[in-house]
Amino acid sequence: MSPKSTEKKVGGKEIYLAAYNVAQLAGWASAAYLTIHGATHSSRGDAVYSSAGRVVRLCQCAAILETVHTAVGLTRGSVVLSFLQWFGRSNVLFLILQSIPELWSHWAVPVLFTAWSLADIARYPWYAWAQFRTPPHWLTWLRYSAFIPLYPLGILGGEMPLIWTGLPYMRQRKLHSTEMPNSMNFAFSYPIFAQAGLFVLLPLAFVQLYTYMLKQRSKRLAKERKTS
């Protein structure tokens, strides 16, 4: 049996958060459709990025609000963790993929967009529903289970191949880098940063965050079983 659905007191906060989550659900559902359509109805190599890229970028830009929501107390959670999750995606999407047109036809683009879209299609309905009443068990299970295949797929099949393929272009064009001498007396090499992220930061974040999400899943589903 599913746990008894409990209605909640609804105010402006709940309505706003529900509207935000429904909007994100609609956006990522559109991205999923456009990704599939671009992959199956066009012979152009960059069809998926040309078709779905704008919607994906819009949804990812809007996702910074989730860090803001946590920072101002609208939602619970870690501000740092929320920001790092947002930055991880945004780094690949804006600083690498959007900045290197040669990557738009890479096979990892549809993999990346599919993994991101399906993961968010699974979680945003749960957040929206939770503003008004306790989500049903099936939706809770989906929210806390979809990431198991989709998170590794997005990291290993999407983000890492794009970073690796993009490294020569970053070095050649000195992408997002600052060289000495300059008025700030500061130097920064984005290719080195991206390479460090690929071999050190991204694997560590993957292991730690994936382990954290598995623990959260175990706790949440155990709570569901107790209330069934």
Catalytic residues: 151, 159
> Mapping DSSP to helix (H, G, I), strand (E, B) and coil, where does residue 180 land?
coil
Q: Write down the residue that tokens 């910074």 correspond to.
A: 64
Q: Counting Cβ atoms within 10 Å, is residue 53 exposed (0-12), middle (13-18) or buried (19+)?
A: buried
Cross-strand partners of 7: 133
> Mapping DSSP to helix (H, G, I), strand (E, B) and coil, where does residue 25 land?
helix
3's torsion region: left (phi>0), alpha (psi -120 to 50) or beta? Answer: beta
Half-sphere exposure of 71 (CA within 13 A, CB side): 10
